């Protein structure tokens, strides 16, 4: 599977992790409205207590939050509790940076 397909598949899995309106027992925050940063912090610490964090920020993707931990930056989807580790590229940069992705042109 190509890098773009792998990336798209991971993102799709992240988005549908808790999509059914009546099935959110596994969700940290039910999919209603937009959670506050305080709610996201609580959900993150409740789901991933092993990480300390410095700051939580909203991203350009609705429902996905950037969490600066003590060691690195991760992305958290509080509706399902999914944690995404890696670089988040804006749509206008993804193809120009594809060679830097694992399995992309020029990678070893």
Q: Where are the domains of the chain?
A: 3-100
CB < 8 Å & 24+ apart, contacts of 82-91: 82/13, 82/14, 82/17, 83/47, 83/48, 84/10, 84/14, 88/59, 88/61, 90/60
Residue 12 Ramachandran class (φ > 0 left, ψ -120 to 50 alpha, else beta): alpha
Task: Give the residue-averaged pLDDT of 7-17.
Answer: 43
Per-residue model confidence (pLDDT) at position 88:
84
Per-residue model confidence (pLDDT) at position 105:
61
- pTM score, two decimals? 0.59
Per-residue model confidence (pLDDT) at position 44:
93
The residue ranking higher by pLDDT, 108 or 48, is 48
Tell me the average pLDDT of the chain. Answer: 73
pLDDT in tens, 72-94: 899 999 989 899 998 888 888 87
For 3-100, the fitting CATH number among 3.90.550.10, 3.10.450.70, 3.40.50.300, 3.30.70.20 is 3.10.450.70
pLDDT in tens, 39-77: 999 999 998 888 888 999 999 999 999 999 888 899 999
């Amino acid at each position: 599977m190509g890098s773009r397909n792998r990336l798209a598949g991971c993102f799709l899995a992240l988005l549908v992790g808790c999509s059914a309106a009546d099935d959110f027992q596994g969700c940290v925050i039910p999919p209603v409205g937009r959670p506050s940063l305080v709610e996201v912090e609580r959900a993150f610490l409740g789901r991933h207590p092993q990480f300390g964090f410095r700051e939580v920020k909203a991203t350009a993707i609705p429902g996905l939050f950037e969490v600066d931990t003590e060691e690195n930056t991760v992305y958290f989807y509080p509706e399902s509790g999914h944690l995404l580790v890696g670089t988040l590229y804006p749509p206008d940069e993804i193809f120009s940076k594809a060679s830097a992705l694992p399995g992309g042109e020029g990678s070893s």
